[in-house]
A and B are shown apart, each in its own frame.
Chain A
Amino acid sequence: MAKEIGRMERSGVRQQPTLTMSSIEGTASLLRELVSHLRQNRTQLREEWARRITEAQLLTAMSKEEIFAEATAVYDQYVEALETGTFEALQAYARSLSERIIPRGVETHEVVGIVLLLRDVLARSLFAKYQADFRKLDRILDAYEPAANRIANTVAVGFVQERERVIRQQQEAIRELSTPVLQVRERLLILPIIGVIDPQRARQLTEQLLRAIRTNRAKVVVIDITGVAAMDATVANHLVQTVEASRLLGATVIVTGLSPEIAQTLVTIGVDLGKMNTVGDLQGGIEQAERLLGYKVVPLSAAAASA
Chain B
Amino acid sequence: MIATVQAALTDDDLVHLRRAMVERVVVSRSLGVIIDVTAMDIMDSFASRTLREVAQMIRLRGAETVIVGIQPEVAFAMVQLGITLEGVVTALDLEEGLEYLNQKFKSNG
- List the interface of chain A (C-beta within 8 A of B): 206-207, 210-211, 213-214, 217, 219, 241-242, 244-251
User: Can you spell out 30 A-B residue pairs with CB atoms less than 8 angstroms apart?
Assistant: A206-B76, A210-B72, A210-B75, A211-B72, A213-B92, A214-B72, A214-B92, A217-B92, A219-B96, A241-B76, A241-B80, A244-B79, A244-B84, A245-B76, A245-B78, A247-B90, A248-B70, A248-B78, A248-B79, A248-B85, A249-B72, A249-B75, A249-B90, A250-B68, A250-B90, A250-B91, A250-B92, A250-B93, A250-B96, A251-B92
B92 is contacted by which of A206, A242, A249 (Cβ under 8 Å)? A249
Within B72-109, the residues touching A (CB, 8 Å) are: 72, 75-76, 78-80, 84-85, 90-93, 96
A207 is contacted by which of B70, B72, B93, B96 (Cβ under 8 Å)? B72
Give the interface SS of chain A, mostly helix, strand, loop or mixed.
Answer: helix
Residue of B nearest to A214 (CB): B72
C-alpha gap A244/B85 in the complex (Å) = 9
**Which A residues are CB-close (under 8 A) to B70?**
248-249
CB distance from A1 to the nearest CB of B (A): 26
C-alpha gap A249/B68 in the complex (Å) = 8
**Which A residues are CB-close (under 8 A) to B79?**
241-242, 244-245, 248
**Which A residues are CB-close (under 8 A) to B78?**
245, 248
C-alpha gap A246/B85 in the complex (Å) = 12
C-alpha gap A206/B70 in the complex (Å) = 15
- Pick the most buried of A214, A241, A246, A250: most chain B CB atoms within 10 A of its CB: A250
Residue of A nearest to B84 (CB): A244
**Which B residues are CB-close (under 8 A) to A241?**
76, 79-80
CB distance from B49 to the nearest CB of A (A): 15
- Pick the most buried of A207, A210, A241, A249: most chain B CB atoms within 10 A of its CB: A249
